[in-house]
Amino acid sequence: MAADVIDGKAFAAGMRASIASEVAALKAAGIVPGLAVILVGEDPASEVYVAHKHKATVEVGMTSFEHRLQAETSEADLFALIDSLNADPAVHGILCQFPVPGHLDERRTVARIDPAKDVDGLSVTNAGLLATGGDALVSCTPLGCLMLLRDRLGDLTGKEAVVIGRSNLFGKPMAQLLLRENCTVTIAHSRTRDLPGVCRRADILVAAVGRAEMVKGDWVKPGATVIDVGITRVPHPEKPGKTRLLGDVDFAEAAEVASAITPVPGGVGPMTIACLLANTLTACCRAEGRPVPEGMTV
Ligand code: NAP
């Protein structure tokens, strides 16, 4: 294997340690950053994500407010809760775990959250601020990917970047961030012609599709940096009844060609929660009129 493996787990652990020390300093000044998480219904995967977020929030010394609502909660009741969190000065970040039950609308739900507390960075306001060069709260996973890229490559100016995937959650904000770093950015998607050829142009290749091992070794430009965002759970080949996670990139093949690559698991995944905490700290500092600590945003 030629490529260096980018250790997102270690990078995220370092970020969490920095966040914990910033939180301790804020607490000494009487300020406690608080993150409120809303879970509507009992989706098992969402339960796991919410539990992880709670643990990580408490570990860095922030206050975690959990709000579990019945699956049949009306939009009016959900919005009343969001309104009360928007107004609560102890709450600096609010996120609603998606998916929500079918009678609720994700777009309207995000729009109800105060953009200054929208730590998932999903609101139209934050997407617009990102696109126009303002002080956005940036969607956590692309923010984490950019931090890994900067750490690995330093200045990204002039690099050819290809992002596969154009979701509002990941692909679009990732492309905006790379553009802000002066990359030449291509966004590929399911209708892109000659996807392997497009990918071969990339000094930075970011895959966020959700199709296991779609990106083959001969799609990767020699020496490229590959960021694998995709997560697909598949049956484990050697352990009957067990599953394992695969990324969008054929790791073994791509690692022979790339200069650096993120693994799945242990690459991008751990950065997402670290960046959620970073966004909560950023939102808290802005709300309190304090400078945002170095390394928390881009
Ligand atoms: P999404 O909303 O389903 O978007 C997937 C994108 O992939 C779409 O833009 C789609 O194109 C494109 N696509 C689908 N098939 C394709 C193909 N054959 N060739 C090229 N492009 C194709 O998913 P998402 O929310 O962005 O997430 C993408 C992946 O990242 C998922 O596996 C998700 O689990 C993972 N993820 C991981 C984290 C983390 O914390 N590590 C966070 C977020 C997401 P069209 O727009 O043309 O349909």
CA distances from 253 to 172, 186, 216 (A): 27, 23, 6
129 has pLDDT over 90 = yes
- pLDDT score for 298: 85
- The verdict on the CB of residue 190 being under 6 Å from ligand 1 is yes
Active-site residue flag, 120: yes
Cα dihedral 160→174→43→116 (10° resolution): 170
pLDDT tens digits along 9-34: 999 999 999 999 999 999 999 999 99
- pLDDT score for 260: 98
Distance 231 CA to ligand 1 centre (A): 9
In CATH terms, the superfamily for domain 29-120 is: Leucine Dehydrogenase, chain A, domain 1 (3.40.50.10860)
- The verdict on the CB of residue 34 being under 6 Å from ligand 1 is no
Give me the residue spans of the domains in the chain. 29-120, 140-270
Cα–Cα dist 100/38, whole Å: 10
* Catalytically annotated residue among 118, 120, 203, 228: 120
Distance 210 CA to ligand 1 centre (A): 5
Cα–Cα dist 35/23, whole Å: 13
- CATH number, span 140-270: 3.40.50.720
- pLDDT score for 95: 97
Contact call for residues 143 and 170 (beta carbons, < 8 A):
no
Active-site residue flag, 176: no
pLDDT tens digits along 236-278: 999 999 999 999 999 999 999 999 999 999 999 999 999 999 9
4 has pLDDT over 90 = yes
pLDDT tens digits along 41-76: 999 999 999 999 999 999 999 999 999 999 999 999
- The verdict on the CB of residue 144 being under 6 Å from ligand 1 is no
Sheet containing strand 93-96, edge to edge, reads 63-69, 34-40, 93-96
Same fold, 29-120 and 140-270: yes
pLDDT tens digits along 168-215: 999 999 999 999 999 999 999 999 999 999 999 999 999 999 999 999
136 has pLDDT over 90 = yes
Give, for ligand 1, the residue of 6, 53, 167 to mutate: max count of ligand atoms closer than 8 Å to Cβ. Answer: 167
Contact call for residues 24 and 61 (beta carbons, < 8 A):
yes
Residue found by looking up tokens 């509002």 in the block: 168
**b (16+ CB within 10 A) / e for 26-38:** beeeebebbbbbb
